[in-house]
Protein backbone atom coordinates (compact mmCIF):
# COMPACT_ATOMS: atom_id res chain seq x y z
CA UNK A 1 0.00 0.00 0.00
CA UNK A 2 1.49 3.40 -0.99
CA UNK A 3 2.48 5.65 1.90
CA UNK A 4 3.35 9.31 2.31
CA UNK A 5 6.40 9.70 4.54
CA UNK A 6 6.32 12.97 6.46
CA UNK A 7 10.03 13.71 6.71
CA UNK A 8 11.27 15.38 9.86
CA UNK A 9 14.56 15.75 11.73
CA UNK A 10 14.88 13.53 14.80
CA UNK A 11 18.25 11.74 14.85
CA UNK A 12 19.60 9.50 17.58
CA UNK A 13 22.29 11.01 19.80
CA UNK A 14 24.48 9.73 22.68
CA UNK A 15 22.57 9.44 25.95
CA UNK A 16 24.89 11.94 27.65
CA UNK A 17 26.90 14.99 26.64
CA UNK A 18 29.94 13.58 28.45
CA UNK A 19 32.92 12.80 26.17
CA UNK A 20 32.77 9.09 27.02
CA UNK A 21 29.12 8.75 25.98
CA UNK A 22 29.93 8.64 22.28
CA UNK A 23 31.71 5.33 22.79
CA UNK A 24 28.59 3.67 24.18
CA UNK A 25 26.17 1.81 21.87
CA UNK A 26 23.15 3.49 23.46
CA UNK A 27 21.40 6.30 21.61
CA UNK A 28 18.15 8.19 22.08
CA UNK A 29 16.10 10.44 19.86
CA UNK A 30 16.69 14.18 20.14
CA UNK A 31 12.91 14.82 20.27
CA UNK A 32 13.18 18.57 19.77
CA UNK A 33 9.53 19.61 19.88
CA UNK A 34 9.64 21.98 16.91
CA UNK A 35 10.97 19.23 14.66
CA UNK A 36 8.09 16.95 15.62
CA UNK A 37 5.36 19.35 14.53
CA UNK A 38 5.33 18.32 10.86
CA UNK A 39 3.73 14.88 11.25
CA UNK A 40 1.33 16.25 13.86
CA UNK A 41 0.11 19.12 11.65
CA UNK A 42 -0.16 16.95 8.54
CA UNK A 43 -2.24 14.41 10.48
CA UNK A 44 -4.51 17.20 11.71
CA UNK A 45 -4.94 18.57 8.18
CA UNK A 46 -5.93 15.12 6.91
CA UNK A 47 -8.43 14.70 9.74
CA UNK A 48 -9.82 18.21 9.16
CA UNK A 49 -10.50 17.40 5.51
CA UNK A 50 -11.70 13.84 6.04
CA UNK A 51 -8.80 12.32 4.13
CA UNK A 52 -7.78 8.75 4.87
CA UNK A 53 -4.03 8.70 5.53
CA UNK A 54 -3.83 5.31 3.79
CA UNK A 55 -5.26 6.66 0.52
CA UNK A 56 -1.93 7.77 -0.97
CA UNK A 57 -1.78 7.59 -4.74
CA UNK A 58 1.89 6.53 -4.77
CA UNK A 59 4.78 6.43 -2.30
CA UNK A 60 6.07 9.96 -1.76
CA UNK A 61 8.05 12.02 0.72
CA UNK A 62 6.59 15.22 2.16
CA UNK A 63 8.71 17.76 4.03
CA UNK A 64 6.57 19.92 6.30
CA UNK A 65 7.82 22.22 9.10
CA UNK A 66 11.37 22.98 10.07
CA UNK A 67 14.69 24.10 8.63
CA UNK A 68 15.05 20.76 6.88
CA UNK A 69 15.57 21.65 3.23
CA UNK A 70 18.89 19.79 3.33
CA UNK A 71 16.95 16.56 3.97
CA UNK A 72 15.10 16.86 0.65
CA UNK A 73 15.67 14.34 -2.12
CA UNK A 74 14.91 14.48 -5.81
CA UNK A 75 11.18 14.91 -6.45
CA UNK A 76 10.15 15.46 -2.83
CA UNK A 77 7.16 17.65 -1.99
CA UNK A 78 7.81 20.71 0.18
CA UNK A 79 5.15 22.49 2.21
CA UNK A 80 6.29 25.39 4.36
CA UNK A 81 9.81 24.22 5.15
CA UNK A 82 12.88 26.44 5.14
CA UNK A 83 16.61 26.36 4.65
CA UNK A 84 18.97 26.40 7.61
CA UNK A 85 21.59 29.14 7.72
CA UNK A 86 24.17 26.56 8.76
CA UNK A 87 23.78 24.55 5.57
CA UNK A 88 23.52 27.20 2.85
CA UNK A 89 26.87 26.17 1.38
CA UNK A 90 26.28 22.44 1.66
CA UNK A 91 25.77 20.18 -1.30
CA UNK A 92 22.09 19.49 -1.89
CA UNK A 93 21.06 16.17 -3.43
CA UNK A 94 18.28 17.39 -5.69
CA UNK A 95 17.67 19.28 -8.92
CA UNK A 96 13.88 19.06 -8.98
CA UNK A 97 11.39 19.54 -6.17
CA UNK A 98 7.61 19.79 -5.94
CA UNK A 99 7.34 23.01 -3.94
CA UNK A 100 3.89 24.03 -2.69
CA UNK A 101 4.96 26.66 -0.14
CA UNK A 102 8.09 27.74 1.71
CA UNK A 103 8.65 29.31 5.11
CA UNK A 104 9.69 32.66 3.70
CA UNK A 105 11.23 34.63 0.82
CA UNK A 106 14.81 33.85 1.85
CA UNK A 107 14.20 30.15 1.27
CA UNK A 108 12.41 30.90 -2.00
CA UNK A 109 15.41 32.94 -3.20
CA UNK A 110 17.78 30.18 -2.10
CA UNK A 111 15.86 27.66 -4.22
CA UNK A 112 15.63 30.05 -7.17
CA UNK A 113 19.43 30.33 -7.26
CA UNK A 114 19.46 26.57 -7.74
CA UNK A 115 16.96 26.68 -10.57
CA UNK A 116 14.00 25.47 -8.51
CA UNK A 117 10.73 27.36 -8.76
CA UNK A 118 8.67 28.00 -5.65
CA UNK A 119 5.37 29.88 -5.49
CA UNK A 120 5.11 33.07 -3.47
CA UNK A 121 3.17 31.25 -0.79
CA UNK A 122 4.83 31.78 2.56
CA UNK A 123 4.40 30.61 6.10
CA UNK A 124 5.67 28.08 8.59
CA UNK A 125 2.90 25.45 8.98
CA UNK A 126 3.38 25.86 12.73
CA UNK A 127 1.42 29.09 12.25
CA UNK A 128 -1.61 26.95 11.40
CA UNK A 129 -1.80 25.52 14.90
CA UNK A 130 -4.08 28.37 15.93
CA UNK A 131 -6.37 27.56 12.99
CA UNK A 132 -6.37 23.79 13.55
CA UNK A 133 -6.80 23.75 17.34
CA UNK A 134 -8.28 26.14 19.86
CA UNK A 135 -6.05 27.56 22.55
CA UNK A 136 -8.29 25.98 25.18
CA UNK A 137 -7.99 22.44 23.85
CA UNK A 138 -4.22 22.79 23.54
CA UNK A 139 -3.86 24.18 27.05
CA UNK A 140 -5.94 21.54 28.78
CA UNK A 141 -5.78 21.87 32.56
CA UNK A 142 -2.37 23.57 32.73
CA UNK A 143 -2.33 26.50 35.14
CA UNK A 144 -1.74 30.02 33.82
CA UNK A 145 1.91 30.91 33.27
CA UNK A 146 2.98 34.59 33.32
CA UNK A 147 5.96 33.82 31.11
CA UNK A 148 7.49 30.81 29.37
CA UNK A 149 11.15 30.70 28.31
CA UNK A 150 12.07 28.16 25.63
CA UNK A 151 15.66 28.21 24.34
CA UNK A 152 16.80 26.69 21.08
CA UNK A 153 18.05 23.14 21.59
CA UNK A 154 21.67 24.07 20.85
CA UNK A 155 21.50 27.18 23.01
CA UNK A 156 20.25 25.05 25.89
CA UNK A 157 23.33 22.85 25.58
CA UNK A 158 25.57 25.91 25.72
CA UNK A 159 23.70 27.25 28.74
CA UNK A 160 24.19 23.96 30.56
CA UNK A 161 27.91 24.04 29.81
CA UNK A 162 28.35 27.47 31.40
CA UNK A 163 25.67 27.21 34.08
CA UNK A 164 23.27 29.86 32.76
CA UNK A 165 20.13 27.78 32.25
CA UNK A 166 17.03 29.68 33.46
CA UNK A 167 15.23 28.16 36.43
CA UNK A 168 11.98 26.26 35.99
CA UNK A 169 10.52 28.66 38.55
CA UNK A 170 11.37 31.53 36.19
CA UNK A 171 9.45 29.91 33.34
CA UNK A 172 11.89 27.51 31.66
CA UNK A 173 10.42 24.83 29.43
CA UNK A 174 13.00 22.63 27.74
CA UNK A 175 12.43 22.08 24.00
CA UNK A 176 12.99 18.33 24.40
CA UNK A 177 10.07 17.83 26.75
CA UNK A 178 7.14 15.91 25.19
CA UNK A 179 5.77 17.96 22.33
CA UNK A 180 2.25 18.11 23.78
CA UNK A 181 3.62 19.32 27.12
CA UNK A 182 5.57 22.11 25.44
CA UNK A 183 2.53 23.21 23.47
CA UNK A 184 0.36 23.12 26.60
CA UNK A 185 2.82 25.37 28.40
CA UNK A 186 2.86 27.82 25.49
CA UNK A 187 -0.94 27.85 25.30
CA UNK A 188 -1.13 28.62 29.04
CA UNK A 189 1.30 31.56 28.82
CA UNK A 190 0.80 35.30 28.87
CA UNK A 191 4.19 35.81 27.19
CA UNK A 192 6.62 33.47 25.43
CA UNK A 193 10.29 34.32 24.93
CA UNK A 194 13.35 32.43 23.79
CA UNK A 195 15.57 31.44 20.89
CA UNK A 196 13.37 28.48 19.93
CA UNK A 197 11.83 29.52 16.62
CA UNK A 198 8.80 27.29 17.01
CA UNK A 199 8.08 28.53 20.50
CA UNK A 200 7.61 31.95 18.91
CA UNK A 201 5.68 30.51 15.94
CA UNK A 202 3.18 28.60 18.07
CA UNK A 203 2.68 31.47 20.49
CA UNK A 204 2.00 33.91 17.65
CA UNK A 205 -0.38 31.44 16.00
CA UNK A 206 -2.42 31.46 19.21
CA UNK A 207 -2.35 35.24 19.60
CA UNK A 208 0.07 35.08 22.53
CA UNK A 209 2.73 37.83 22.69
CA UNK A 210 6.18 36.47 21.87
CA UNK A 211 9.70 37.87 21.69
CA UNK A 212 12.68 36.19 20.08
CA UNK A 213 15.95 36.04 22.00
CA UNK A 214 19.13 36.18 19.90
CA UNK A 215 20.61 32.71 19.49
CA UNK A 216 24.27 32.05 20.22
CA UNK A 217 24.09 28.87 18.13
CA UNK A 218 21.82 29.54 15.16
CA UNK A 219 22.37 31.94 12.24
CA UNK A 220 19.76 34.66 11.76
CA UNK A 221 18.61 33.19 8.41
CA UNK A 222 15.74 31.01 9.62
CA UNK A 223 14.40 33.65 12.00
CA UNK A 224 14.41 36.38 9.37
CA UNK A 225 12.89 33.95 6.86
CA UNK A 226 10.03 33.29 9.28
CA UNK A 227 9.35 36.94 10.11
CA UNK A 228 9.46 38.02 6.46
CA UNK A 229 7.33 35.02 5.47
CA UNK A 230 4.68 36.12 7.94
CA UNK A 231 4.60 39.65 6.54
CA UNK A 232 7.13 41.51 8.67
CA UNK A 233 10.14 43.27 7.19
CA UNK A 234 11.72 43.87 10.57
CA UNK A 235 11.82 42.38 14.04
CA UNK A 236 13.64 43.22 17.25
CA UNK A 237 15.13 40.24 19.08
CA UNK A 238 16.26 40.67 22.66
CA UNK A 239 19.79 39.97 23.85
CA UNK A 240 18.61 37.97 26.86
CA UNK A 241 15.47 36.37 28.21
CA UNK A 242 15.29 39.04 30.91
CA UNK A 243 15.39 41.77 28.29
CA UNK A 244 12.77 39.96 26.21
CA UNK A 245 10.44 39.83 29.21
CA UNK A 246 10.96 43.55 29.80
CA UNK A 247 10.28 44.32 26.12
CA UNK A 248 7.16 42.19 25.88
CA UNK A 249 5.96 40.69 22.62
CA UNK A 250 6.43 41.87 19.06
CA UNK A 251 3.43 43.68 17.50
CA UNK A 252 0.53 41.24 16.97
CA UNK A 253 0.77 39.00 13.93
CA UNK A 254 -1.34 40.02 10.93
CA UNK A 255 -1.10 37.02 8.61
CA UNK A 256 -3.70 35.27 6.47
CA UNK A 257 -3.43 31.46 6.71
CA UNK A 258 -5.67 30.87 3.69
CA UNK A 259 -2.94 30.53 1.01
CA UNK A 260 -0.90 28.11 3.12
CA UNK A 261 -3.99 26.04 3.94
CA UNK A 262 -4.96 25.96 0.27
CA UNK A 263 -1.47 24.86 -0.75
CA UNK A 264 -1.55 21.74 1.44
CA UNK A 265 -0.64 18.86 -0.91
CA UNK A 266 -3.89 16.95 -0.48
CA UNK A 267 -3.48 15.58 -4.01
CA UNK A 268 -0.80 13.23 -2.68
CA UNK A 269 -3.74 11.41 -1.08
CA UNK A 270 -5.90 11.58 -4.21
CA UNK A 271 -7.74 14.83 -3.48
CA UNK A 272 -7.96 17.69 -5.97
CA UNK A 273 -5.57 20.59 -5.54
CA UNK A 274 -7.01 23.87 -4.30
CA UNK A 275 -6.23 27.12 -6.03
CA UNK A 276 -5.04 29.86 -3.67
CA UNK A 277 -6.73 33.20 -4.24
Q: What CA–CA distance (Å, rounded) separates 13 from 80?
A: 26
Q: What is the gyration radius of the CA atoms in the chain, in angstroms?
A: 19
The CB density around residue 81, as the number of other CB atoms within 10 Å, is 27
Per-residue pLDDT of the chain (277 residues; tens, 9 = 90+): 679 999 987 765 655 565 555 555 655 676 799 999 999 999 999 999 999 999 998 999 999 999 999 999 999 999 999 999 998 888 888 999 999 999 999 999 999 999 999 999 999 999 999 999 999 999 999 999 999 999 999 999 999 989 999 999 999 999 999 999 999 999 999 999 999 999 999 999 999 999 999 999 999 999 999 999 999 999 999 999 999 999 999 999 999 999 999 999 999 998 766 655 4
pLDDT tens figures, 214-226: 999 999 999 999 9
For 64, the 3-state DSSP assignment is strand
Residue 137 CA to its chain's centroid (Å)? 20
CB 277, CB 119: distance < 8 Å: no
Q: What CA–CA distance (Å, rounded) separates 174 from 30?
A: 12
Nearest to 227 by CA among 121, 105, 130, 117: 105
β-strand partners of 62: 6, 77
Burial of 219: CB neighbours in 10 Å, binned 0-12, 13-18, 19+: middle
CB 79, CB 68: distance < 8 Å: no
Q: Where are the alpha helices (DSSP H) in the chain?
A: 37-48, 105-112, 129-132, 135-139, 153-162, 179-187, 197-205, 221-229, 241-247, 258-262
pLDDT for 14? 57
pLDDT for 52? 93
pTM, 2 dp: 0.90
pLDDT for 277? 47
pLDDT for 92? 87
> Which residues of the chain form beta strands (DSSP E)?
4-7, 12-14, 27-29, 60-64, 77-81, 98-102, 148-149, 192-194, 210-212
Amino acid sequence: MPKIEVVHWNPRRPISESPWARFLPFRRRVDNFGDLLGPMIVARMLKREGIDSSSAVEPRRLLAVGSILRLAREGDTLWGVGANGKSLKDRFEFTNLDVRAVRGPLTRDFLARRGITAPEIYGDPGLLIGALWTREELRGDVQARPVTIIPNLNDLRRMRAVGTVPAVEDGLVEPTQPVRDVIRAIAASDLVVGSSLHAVVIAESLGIPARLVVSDSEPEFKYRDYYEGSGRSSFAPAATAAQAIAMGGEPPLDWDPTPLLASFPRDLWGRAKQVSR
